[in-house]
Chain A
Amino acid sequence: MNGAPAIRLTGVSKNYPSLTRRGRLHSLKGALLHGELWRAQQEQQGFLALSGVDVEVPPGETFAVIGPNGSGKSTLLKLVAGILRPTTGTVDVAGRVTALIELGAGFHPEISGRDNAIINGMMLGLSRAEVTNLLPEIVAFSGIEPFIDEPVKTYSSGMYVRLGFSVAVAAEPDVLVVDEILAVGDEAFAHRCLDRIAQLQRRGTAILLVSHDLGLVEQLAQRALYLKGGVPVLTGSAGAAVARYRSDVASDEAGDTKAGGTARRWGNGAVALESVELVDAAGRPLRLLSSGEPAALRIAYSVRIPQEDFVFGVAINREDGAHVFGTNTDLDGWRPERLAGDGHLALEFPRLELAPGRYVVDAAVHAKNGLAYDYACEVLSFTVTAPVGWPGTYAPRHGWRLHGPEMAPPSG
C-alpha cells in the first residue's frame, strides 16, 4: 500500500462537444487547422460531464464510483481506461489497464469463440503468445468449452458475457476498470466472478468499480467517490459514501429540502449528534487503548424536531477505509418509539478485540429508509495497541497448544 498510486486523477474535467452540425464542422476545421480538438468551442457549447475530480487509488485498493444516472460515472471510467481524454487535468495510470465496460464488445458474430477470445485478449494488450498460453484457462473459466469453436452468433447472451469476462480477467491487469457488469451470468458464475475479483485484489490490482448495486459496493470497495451531476460530493470510506448517497436519494423522494452538509458531515438537522466518544469501563474518554480491553462508543444527541422513525448507527473503519465493523439499533433489533429532547446512548464492547492500528469511527442518526438526520464521517479516531503487531483487523484472545513440536514458550 505504499509507493506511487495506481490511478491518479488531478483536477479532471470532461466536456463533451455538442454534436450539432455546425459545431461538428467548426471543430473539424479547428482540429485540422490548429490542432485544437474541440477546445475552442468548449466555452460556448457542449456538456460538462465531469468537473474538478481528484482521485488517488493505491495498488490493491478497490475504489467505487457511485451516483445517480448521468452523474459522470462512466465518463470517469473511460478517462481512466484511456478511451477518452480529459478536457482539463491529468489522468495517470500505472501499468496495464483492462476495461470491463461492455463484456464481449467487439466480438465478431461470424467467427468462433476461440478466435474472438484471442482477438479480444490482444486488444487488451496481451501478445499473441500470452493469449495462446492463457486460452485453456480462459475457456475453462468461461465454462463454455463445448461451444468454443462455434461462431459467436450462436451463443446465448449469458455465454457471450461469460467469455468476455473470462478474457478480460485472464489478462491479470494492474488496473481493472469495471462498469456495472458483475451481475452477469447465473448465480454460480456471478460467484466465480466475485472470487476472481477478490483474487485480483489480493494480487495488488487496483480496481475502479462503477455500480448501482450499493450492497456490492460496500462489500467490495474500501473507498468510494459519490458523484452528482459530474461534481464530486464525497470521497471517503465506501460505507460513508453509500450512506450519503442513500440519504440524498431518500430526501429527494421525500421532496425534502436538500440535506445540507459538507463532505464529512451531512443531514437535514432534525436530530444532531453532539458528541461521539470512545470511553473506558469507567466512562472516561479514550484515544488509546490496548487490544481486548472493554470500551464503549458514547453518542450524545440533541433533537430539534421530535422523531418516531430513527436509527442510531456506528461504523468502525480502518484508516485506509476498509470496513471493520458496523451496526445500528435497527440491525440489533431495537424498535424506535420516540426521540425527543436531548440524551445519549452507548454501544458497549465487553472486549474490543481489534488488531493494533489506527481506526476511525463514523456515527449517524437517520430514518429507516436512509434519510440522514445527521451523518458524521470520521468523527472520532483512536489507536489500538498490542504487545504483538498482529496484522489484519481482528485480534481475538488466542493461544498455541503444542503436541509434538518442540518449541520454547514465549518469555515473560
Chain B
Amino acid sequence: MSVSALLLVVLGLGLAGWLFARSRAIMFRRADSKRRIASLPNYHGWYAALWIAVPAIAFIVIWSPVSDALIMQTVLSHPAAANLPPFGLERESILSEARAVAMGNLGAVFNPAGRALVEPFSEAIGRYQLIGFVVTLIAAGLGGAFAFLRLKPDFRARNKVERTVLFILLLASLVAIVTTLGIIASLVFETIRFFGMVSPIDFLFGTHWSPNPMSNPDAVDPSLYGAVPLFWGTLFIGAIIAMIVAIPIGMMSAIYLNQYAPAHMRTWLKPALEVLAGVPTVVYGYFAALTVAPAIRNLALWVGVSNPSSESALAAGLVMGVMIIPFVSSMADDSIAAVPQAMADGSLAMGATKNETIKRVLIPAALPGIVAGVMLAISRAIGETMIVVMAASFAANLSANPLDAMTTVTVQIVALLTGEGSFDHPATLAAFALGFVLFVVTLGLNFIAMRVVKRFREAYE
C-alpha cells in the first residue's frame, strides 16, 4: 500500500470518527434535553477526528523515508546484491529499475543484473508496507479510542480543538523560520567544507576562475577558484548596465504616471508595466539570446568593432534592465505618492512649474524611498538567473567592455550544479559558496532598503 493510499485510509478513518463522535454528541443532547452540552456536536467530531488523524499522519510522514531506507538495507544485505558494482551511476540505475519493477511501475528490467533483485525488492517492500499499514491502524485506533472515552456531555471539546487550531497556526508561521534556517544551514555547511579546501582569501580575491568538476578532487588548485571575475560580471550586468536602462526609464515613467498622465491613460499604462514584470524570466532570456544578442553583435560589427562576442554582457544587461523597469517604477511611484500633497502645493503656489516642483521638492523628499527601491531592484537583478544563463557567457572574463562575454555568479552556480560532478568535489561546493555570497549580499541590500523605507514612512506620518 503506497503512502498516498495510506493517507486516504487515515482520512477516511478520521471522517468516520468525525461522524461517529458528532452523532454521539447529538445523542447526549437528546438524552437530556434540560441540560445543554458544553460544546457543539461539531467540535466533538473534530476532537475525535484530530485524535485519529494526527498521530497516524505523523507516523506515516516519519515512516515513509525510514521504510525506504530499511527496504534498501534489506535488499543490499540479500545475497543477490553481492555482485552489484560498488558505486556510481550503473549501481543506481540497476537498483532503481529493479525497484520500479517490484512496485509494478515498469514491465521488465533492461539490465539483466537487476533481475535477481526484483524478488528481494518486492519481498521487502511487501513486508515493510504491511508493517506500516498495521502500525498506522494501531495509531489511529489508539487515538480514536482515547478521544471517544473522553466524550461526555460536559466535555469542553471546543476549547481543546481551538487550542489545537492555534497550535497549527503557530506551526504554519514557523515554516518561514524553518525555511530560512534551512537555507542558511545548507549554504553554510557546504561553504565551510569548500573553505576547508580553498581558502576564503583565494576565493574572494583571486582573479582567475575556471574550476573543473572532472578534475581530481584530492588535488585542488586554489588558484582556479578566484571569484572576482564573477562578482565583477554580476555587478557589471546587474548593477551597472541593467540600472542604466532601468533607473531613468523606471523613474521617468513613474513620474509621468503619477504626475502627468490623464486618468484614462494611467488605467492602461500601469497594468501594461505590471505585465512587463509578469513575463517569465525564461522568456526574457530567450528574447535576449535570440533577438537582442545578434542585433547587438551586428550593430557592433557595423560600427567597426572587430570580433564582438555573441554572448555580450550588454545584451543580457539590457534585457535585464527592461525586466527591472516595473520594479523601479512601482517603488518610485509609491514613494512619490507618499510625499504629502501640501509640499507639492506649496511649491506650485510659489509659482514653480510642475517639473521644477518634481525635481526640487518631490524627488528630494522621496529620495530615501527611491534609493531603497533601486537597492531592491539591484538585489533582484544580481539574483536573476535565466536571462544570464541563456544570454551571457559561461567563460569568466575580467573586462570593462560591455561587448565582451562575461559570466555571473548565478550562471556559474547553474553551470557547476547541472554537470556530473559529485557532491564532494570542490567545484560543486564552490557553487554553494557562491550561493552563500549571493544570499548574504541580497539579504544585506534588502535589509538596508527595508530600514530606509520604514524610517522614510515614519518621517511623513
Q: Do A and B bind each other?
A: no
* Chain B contacts to A: CB under 8 angstroms: none
A interface residue numbers (CB < 8 A to B): none
